[in-house]
Chains A and B, each alone.
Chain A
Amino acid sequence: MTKTIKNVICTFCGTLCDDLEVDVSDDGKRIEQVRNACAIGAEKYLHVGNPGRVVLPRMRQADGTYKDISYEEAIDFTAKTLLKAKKPLFYGWSSTNCEAIAAGNTLAEKTGGVIDNCATVCHGSSLLAIQDTGVPSCTLGEVKNRADRVIFWGCNPAHAHPRHMSRYSIFPRGFFSAKGQKGRKIICVDCRETDTAKVADVFVRIKQSYDYEVFDALRTVLRGEEIPDEVGGVPAEKIKEVIELLKSGRFVTLFFGMGLTHTLGRNHNIDNGINFIRDLNDYTKAVLIAMRGHYNVTGAGQVLGWQYGFPFACDLSRLTMARHNPGETTSVDLLVRHEVDACVVIASDLAAHFPFEATRVMSTIPTITIDPHISMSTELSDLHIPVAIVGVEVGGCCYRMDNVPIETRKCVDAPEGVLEDEELFKRISARVDEILAENGVSTAAEYLAKIEQET
């Protein structure tokens, strides 16, 4: 007999689908089947039972091999590494729950670290634009119930957020959108004809990195001014056609992704996009939503926001104040300038996504990776601490791409002895307190001073 768990929240992408059904074995240890999920989401659940799961912390030895050690030893090593470092970097957070993030941030404050999340190489530029111009947005349910004009710009949900189109943006029938897809006009702006472009009513193919210019042209036409015959590879007629289509709508939504945040112009592209939406509000209702990637990258920013006031790149290394200066306190910059002397990678894969030079520096400083799986980061770390998988083996709060918090569900037990992220951080914090007390000091700065004096 299997038992079915309903309303399971898929902890893969920022869409955070909450309608999965998971069949688990009688003893609550094995996942048998997953329904309603996309292919990626289903695999997230089904792979858990695969052989080869790491269940004990692994410490790298002098010869490059790994040796299993106990959690106590791993916690002690982490606490000491953090205390000895002047400026440790805590990077990641996007694939764990908010409870763990809060506990981890507390540890970072104690040890004078820099906290940064995946936004730093993702929607960080969107956040910078939001800091410059604001953000008119809404929840995804508003899109489902009202939107009749939907723009996808530099994003490809057909592959990156597979159920986004069916749950929220193109196909669903909502209260004021009873006709579903037939009542919506879909516009896709991209430099390639993606699978999302194939389901769009209007595909605007732009030259790569001409997003800013095209936004400018759209805004110019919207204000009734003339534009050149062609902008960024798009004929003027096409731009005018798009504007007419948008103005005739009652509720316009712009979804945007990496194609906008990481092409030439970066935050300025988003800035222009936000102002385009703001301008559109003179004619009709218009909003925009960022296509956040990891399932809880939004939550990592939220927790950091209410604890220290910034969405990412928060430097607590002075122990007396929080600083936020993107370009200076962002992870890639800190690494390539050799400004951090220890690194904790949590619930994310730094080595797989950062520029080579940043990854190389990370491999030369003491690094601890906290992750359920083996990844490129774990293989470049001095210590890999395995943890339970959020949304599968442990619950906790996560934030969807529209900032709606959803409580994830536990489906099966974690392998025996494997800790949760939150508990791990609390135990490291406790060990830090112990070490400080043993040395008769009360802050990390005093500890460092004492160590330096002794040597």
Chain B
Amino acid sequence: MTEIIIKNGHVFDAVTGQKGDVADVCMKDGKFVDKVSSSATVIDATGKTVMAGALDVHTHVAGPKVNLGRWFRPEDKFRLGERCSAKIDPKTKIEGGFSIPTVYKTGYEYARMGFGFLMEAAMPPLYSRHVHEEIRDTPIVDEAAMPVFGNNWFMFEYLKNGEIDNAAAYVAWMLRQTKGYGIKCVNPGGSEAWAWGLNCMTINDQVPYFDITPKEIIAGLITTNEELHLPHSVHLHSNNLGNPGNYTTTLDSLKIAEDFKPNTNLGRKTVLHHTHLQFHSYGGTGWGDFESKSKEVMDYVNKTEQISIDTGCVTLDETTTMTADGPFEYHLGALNHLKWGNVDVELETSSGVVPYIYGKNVKVCDIQWAIGLEIALFSKDPMRTMITTDHPNAGPFTRYPRIYAWLMDKQYRDDLLNSFKYATKVIDATYLAEIDREISLYELSQMTRAGPAQVLGLSGSMGGLASGMKANLAVYNINPDNMPKGLDLENAFAKSAYFFKDGVKVVENGVVVDADPVVKKTYWVDAKVPENKQVLHDINEKFLKYYSVNLGNYEVIDHYAPHQEIIEV
């Protein structure tokens, strides 16, 4: 029986409504409790900030495309001054990589920043075993992964014919087979079109051969999601990513959610999560008149309660883009002429990997940087707005502290904005210079803790400090009465003073002290549906005729996820 009490910290927690009140937080046997006995270990947090463990709602940290990135970018391990291949703490393994860190570095770095849960954002079902192997080997943090459904042949057929029961039975089967968490939809229809070298640029383009449109796919997936009462909403990466003027496609995609209502008892209030919105909020007709449309998009998001978003903030680093949006990566490769990786997956999806350098003195990159911050700053509901970098697409997750500092300190971001070579042009094309807002610690706790937990349907156990919740807790060297600024603030978030995972002290003063006692868990969703003979027949037939593996060898068996947390709905 381990008991710990964190004394006299400034507590920020949206679940218990504490906005910096000086209070004690108690943990016992991996859970938060109201009080502990006098023999509890005392941690003094006087003059420090205390928050629940953070959750990342969208990150690419495990799986085939991540590992392809590691394979084909040895240079990512050789960056000077970024600790890219090193044994950093005495009790950890060798950590490697900057934009695509190894599994060890991923687990340790997230823990150092105070994160307890990650959502791997795109799992090609055929490769789910690979995703789970990496998740199993990632230390400390709990993880889940979302299989992609937006270009799946089964779903195309069921949704085209309006067979929602069949679609639901198929999704439930697939979540069980892959130990998946929810419905991810990447470039609906476009990734299938990419198998023929084509794409779907608007929500009304026809998918070649399958005679369905992205609009029908998105609406169908939302209907299926709510029919199954899944904990998370549909997680959408909409069409036309990364192109000037794409904000109209984004608004069209978001509007599909208007007709739906959440149908779950796990606390989620949204039906659609639009991810990395930064990449989808572009105006202009080309790179010359490229401009921010974050205000237009966020105005719509703010007034539509069924939608949650994450930002996808550009961090102005050299990074590695990777997405199940195969055609986008092809075009990006043609744009920057760096190496292009592509993997099309039979019946299911496509994907691509391309290194990308967000140059500080490239106007377009600077505008992207501004848009990412604007999205967070325009948000009127922090519970529906999450901060991400779409790791590693807009920047590595290790830059979260820097983004927090930019959002919380106007001077810090303005200094950078004004230092750009084309500062005037960037200011003209964006809203950032006009925005005075600084995100507060309480809002940050909503955006990184309570918000993502609610959107993922995990608010019963994570994202807060209420009694009975998982004892994931971070203490930062931030005194709200004497707020650090700029770089100091950034460093405070990068190296938490303490991080407890399930009530076990994992990090102290930014050093991983002992990862071994922590049990990392794999979350997945078991959705109950009536037996559906039609779907089982279709599955049998497609495996017999079109898959390259047998049905009997498709399931991810238990030993890939030794510690499972199964959410039954």
> Does B421 lie at the interface of the complex (its beta carbon under 8 Å from any beta carbon of A)?
no
Dominant secondary structure of chain B at its interface with chain A = mixed
Taking a contact as CB atoms under 8 Å apart, the answer to whether A404 and B548 are in contact is yes
Q: Which of A18, A131, A305 has the most CB of B within 10 A?
A: A305
Q: Knowing A281-B330, A405-B133, A406-B553 are in contact, say whether A175-B545 is a contact too (CB < 8 A).
A: yes
- Residues in B330-382 with C-beta less than 8 Å from chain A: 330, 333, 338-347, 350, 353-354
- Known A-B contacts A136-B340, A146-B195, A405-B129; the reply to A309 vs B546 at CB < 8 A is no
- Inter-subunit contact A321/B94 (CB<8 Å): yes
Q: Which residues of B contact A136 (CB under 8 A)?
A: 330, 340-342
Distance A6 CA – B208 CA, assembled complex (angstroms) = 36
- Tell whether, in the assembled complex, residue B86 and residue A102 are in contact, meaning their CB atoms are under 8 Å apart: no
Task: Answer whether A404 and B126 are a contact pair too, CB < 8 Å, given A102-B137, A309-B96.
Answer: yes
Contact B72 A406 (CB under 8 A): no
B42 contacts A by Cβ under 8 Å? no
* Chain B 452-478 interface mask (CB, 8 Å, partner A; 1/0): 000000000000000000000000000
Contact A167 B340 (CB under 8 A): no
| Contacting residues, chain B, for A19 (C-beta < 8 A) | 550
| Residue numbers in A under 8 Å from B557 (CB-CB) | 407
**Cβ-based interface call for A30 (8 A):** no
| Chain B: interface residue total (CB-CB under 8 A) | 61
Q: Given A322-B96, A407-B129, are A309 and B345 neighbors across the interface (CB < 8 Å)?
A: no
CB-defined contacts of A175 to chain B, threshold 8 Å: 153, 545-546
Question: Within residues 297 to 324 of chain A, which ones have a CB less than 8 A from any CB in chain B?
Answer: 301-303, 305-311, 316, 319-324
Note all chain A residues with C-beta closer than 8 A to B68: 135, 403
Do the beta carbons of B94 and A109 come within 8 Å of each other? Answer: yes
Whether the pair A18, B333 counts as a contact (CB closer than 8 A) is: no
Contacts A134-B72, A135-B72 given; indicate if A397 touches B133 (C-beta within 8 A).
yes
**Contact across chains for A135 and B94 when beta carbons are under 8 A apart:** no
* Known A141-B346, A397-B129, A405-B133: A130·B71 in contact at CB below 8 Å: yes
When each residue 407-420 of chain B gets 1 if its CB lies under 8 Å from chain A and 0 otherwise, what string results? 00000000000000
Q: A311 vs B69: C-alpha distance in the bound complex, in angstroms? A: 11
Contact B548 A139 (CB under 8 A): yes
Give chain A nearest CB distance to B286 CB in angstroms.
Answer: 21
Most buried by A among B101, B339, B346, B354: B346
Please report the total number of A residues contacting B with Cβ < 8 Å: 62
Asked if A98 is at the interface (CB within 8 A of a chain B CB), the reply is yes
> Contact at A18–B553, with CB atoms within 8 Å?
yes
Q: Does A393 contact B (CB under 8 A)?
A: no
Contact B548 A140 (CB under 8 A): yes
Q: Does B73 contact A (CB under 8 A)?
A: yes
Given the complex, which residues of B lie within 8 Å of A306, measured CB to CB? Answer: 62, 66-67, 70, 102-103, 133-134, 137
What chain B residues lie within 8 Å of A251 (beta carbons)? 195-196
Q: Which B residues from 134 to 167 make CB contacts under 8 A with A? A: 134, 137, 153
A285 an interface residue at 8 Å Cβ cutoff? Answer: yes
Scan B92-136; emit 1 where CB is below 8 A from any A CB, else 0.
011011001111100000000000000000000011011001100
Which chain A residues in 319-365 approach chain B with CB under 8 Å? 319-324
Q: How far is the CA of A324 from the CA of B70 in the complex (A)?
A: 12
Q: Are B345 and A139 in contact (CB under 8 A)?
A: yes
Q: CB of B13 within 8 A of chain A?
A: no
Question: Is residue A208 contacting chain B, with contact meaning CB distance below 8 A?
Answer: no
Q: Which residues of chain B from 534 to 569 have a CB within 8 Å of any chain A CB?
A: 545-550, 552-553, 557, 560
Interchain CB contact (< 8 A) of A145 among B129, B343, B346 = B346
Q: Which residues of A contact B502 (CB under 8 A)?
A: none
Chain A residues within an 8 Å CB radius of B93 = 109, 307
**Any chain B CB within 8 A of the CB of A4?**
no
Q: Is the CB of B549 within 8 A of A134?
A: no
Residues on B with C-beta less than 8 A from A284 are 197
Closest to B134 in A: A306
Residue of chain A at shortest CB distance from B124: A139
Q: Which residues of B contact A173 (CB under 8 A)?
A: 545
Check: A220 CB closer than 8 A to any chain B CB: no
If A306-B103, A309-B74 touch, whether A406 touches B549 (CB-CB below 8 Å) is yes
The CA-CA distance from A142 to B151 in the complex, in Å, is: 14
Whether the pair B346, A405 counts as a contact (CB closer than 8 A) is no
Task: Tell me how far the C-beta of A84 lies from the nearest C-beta in chain B, rounded to whole angstroms.
Answer: 22
Cβ of A138 < 8 Å from any Cβ of B?
Answer: yes
Chain B residues near A320: list those with CB within 8 A: 86-87, 94
Find out whether the CB atom of B196 lies under 8 angstroms from the CB atom of A18: no
With contacts A285-B196, A403-B64 known, is A301 near B71, CB below 8 A? yes
Query: By the criterion CB–CB under 8 Å, are B67 and A305 in contact?
Result: yes
How many angstroms from the CA of A396 to the CA of B238 in the assembled complex?
37
Whether B552 contacts A6 by the Cβ 8 Å rule is yes
Q: A9: CB under 8 A from chain B?
A: yes
A140 to B546, CA, bound (A): 11
Residues of B within 8 A of A406 (CB): 129, 549, 553
Q: Which residues of chain B are near A167, meaning CB under 8 Å?
A: 548
- Smallest CB separation, B244 vs chain A (Å): 22
Complex-state Cα separation, A9 to B548, whole angstroms: 12
Residues on the B chain within 8 Å of A141, using CB:
126, 345-347, 546-549
A16 to chain B, nearest CB (A): 9
A131 touches B74 (CB 8 A): yes
A251–B134 alpha-carbon span in the complex (Å): 32
Whether A405 touches B341, Cβ cut-off 8 Å, given contacts A144-B546, A311-B71, A321-B87, is no
Given contacts A309-B76, A320-B94, contact A144 B552 (CB under 8 A): no
Contact indicator B546/A287 (Cβ below 8 Å)? no
Give the distance to chain A from B343, nearest Cβ to Cβ, in Å: 5
Contact residues of A between 3 and 35, Cβ < 8 Å to B: 6-7, 9, 18-19
B11 to chain A, nearest CB (A): 37
Residue numbers in A under 8 Å from B195 (CB-CB):
138, 142, 146, 251, 285
* B103 A130 Cβ-Cβ under 8 A: no
Interface string of A397-422 (1 = CB under 8 A from B): 10100011111000000000000000
CB of A307 within 8 A of CB of B341, answer no
Assess the A309–B354 pair: CB atoms within 8 A.
no
Of the listed residues A132, A174, A308, the one surrounded by the most CB atoms of chain B closer than 10 A to its CB is A308
Find chain A residues with CB under 8 A from B126 CB: 139, 141, 404
Taking a contact as CB atoms under 8 Å apart, the answer to whether B72 and A137 are in contact is no
Residue with the highest number of chain A CB atoms closer than 10 Å, among B70, B345, B353: B70
Q: Shortest Cβ distance from A133 into chain B, in angstroms?
A: 5
Closest chain-A Cβ to B386's Cβ sits at a distance in Å of 26
In the bound assembly, the distance between CA atoms of A369 and B346 in angstroms comes to 39
Chain B, range 70-88, C-beta contacts under 8 Å to A: 70-74, 76-77, 85-87
CA of A316 to CA of B300, assembled, Å: 52
A127 at the interface (CB under 8 A from B): yes
Cα-based distance from A19 to B553 in the complex (angstroms) = 9
Is A198 an interface residue, CB under 8 A from the partner?
A: no
Question: Shortest distance in angstroms between A385's beta carbon and chain B's nearest beta carbon?
Answer: 24
CA distance A309 to B195 in the complex (A): 29
The 0/1 profile, CB within 8 Å of B marked 1, for residues 88-99 of chain A is 000000000010
Q: Which of B86, B546, B550 contacts A18 (CB 8 A)?
A: B550
A310 to B70 CA separation, bound complex (whole angstroms): 7
Write the nearest CB–CB distance from B60 to chain A, whole angstroms: 13
Taking the closest CB of chain B, its distance from the CB of A409, in whole angstroms, is 8
5 A–B contacts, CB within 8 A, in A order:
A137-B341, A321-B86, A322-B96, A405-B129, A406-B553
Q: Sort A-B residue pairs by CB-CB distance and give the 9 closest, nearest first.
A: A141-B346, A134-B339, A141-B548, A7-B552, A138-B344, A309-B96, A136-B342, A405-B129, A285-B197
